[in-house]
Amino acid sequence: MKMNPINREEMNRYETVLREEFEKISLDKSKRALEIILFPPFFYIKSLSQHFTGLIAVGSQDVSSYQKGSYTGEISASMAYAEGALFSLVGHSERREYHKENNKDIAKKIRTILDAGMCAVLCVGESQEEHNTQKTDEVIEKQVEEGLFGVKEDEADRVFLVYEPIWAVGSDETPTSSEISFAKKIIQERLYKLFGEKGEKMKILYGGSVHSRNLLETCIVSGMDGALVGRSSLDPKEFLEIASRAKIV
């Protein structure tokens, strides 16, 4: 959802339409195999978690790398958890690019997320230049290994990975299913190296301009465990259409 909706009135409209769409297609937890998670701005976490209990889980778009202290403007993982967030994104391409977050910063955030009792959703992926110069495997391996530094084997099941090619984010360009499958294989191999058999069971999602029209190729044919939906999540009808096409019911 990124920095949307922009005010409470818009959020109320979003929640109303979202609930109407849920009622139409009966996407309650007892009838689906996958979890639906929304990552709203911090101010709406509590509202969504309270109004959609049993329908969705709620996550934070980001957290501070610090647990507490004199860090003006920061929001800690424990604060997000107290508001109802059970997940937190970390390492999103926009955070890496606009806020210059590196793998060490990301590893610190994952530590605070896990310590707060939440699950971490780590985004990894290559730039257009790295893709063009065939450095996808090198970039992803480094991001996974350094980003998960300090994660213990018995915590592995609380970390989800997202392959998020930077060149596809916010564009109409998407990788082929074979390219996505290749990236998943790289991630799986690195996870196995880090966590053994536990690493084999970790979930890997695809993110990068996902919509209902490309879901088959990007997520289903490629064998991904789910999708991280960006701008399409701002339209509740399209968002739940994606859920339906993913054969969640």
- Joined together, the tokens standing for residue 88 give 């937190």
Amino acid residing at 203: K
- Is pLDDT at 9 greater than 90 in this prediction? yes
Residues 39-73, buried b or exposed e (16+ Cβ, 10 A)?
bbeeebbebbbeebeebbbbbbbbbbbeeeeeeee
Q: Tell me what pLDDT residue 227 has.
A: 94
Q: How far is CA 71 from CA 16, 64, 67, 182, in A?
A: 36, 9, 10, 40
The DSSP letter of residue 246 is: T
Q: What is the mean pLDDT of residues 61-86?
A: 97
Confidence of residue 248 (pLDDT cuts 50, 70, 90): very low
Measured in whole angstroms, the distance separating CA 145 from the mean position of its chain's CA atoms is 18
Other CB atoms within 10 Å distance of the CB of residue 192: 14
- Is pLDDT at 29 greater than 80 in this prediction? no
How far the first Cα of the chain sits from its last, in Å, is: 23
Asked if 149 and 110 touch (Cβ cutoff 8 Å), the reply is: no
* 3-state SS class at 144: helix
Residue ranges of domains in the chain, CATH in brackets: 8-245 (3.20.20.70)
pLDDT tens digits, residue range 194-214? 999 999 999 999 998 899 999
- Is pLDDT at 42 greater than 90 in this prediction? yes
Residues facing 37 on adjacent strands? 57
Query: Whole-number mean pLDDT of the chain?
Result: 93
Residues annotated as catalytic are 92, 164
pLDDT tens digits, residue range 83-140? 999 999 999 999 999 999 999 999 999 999 999 999 999 999 999 999 999 999 999 9
Asked if 80 and 116 touch (Cβ cutoff 8 Å), the reply is: yes
What span, in angstroms and rounded, lies between the C-alpha atoms of 162 and 189?
15
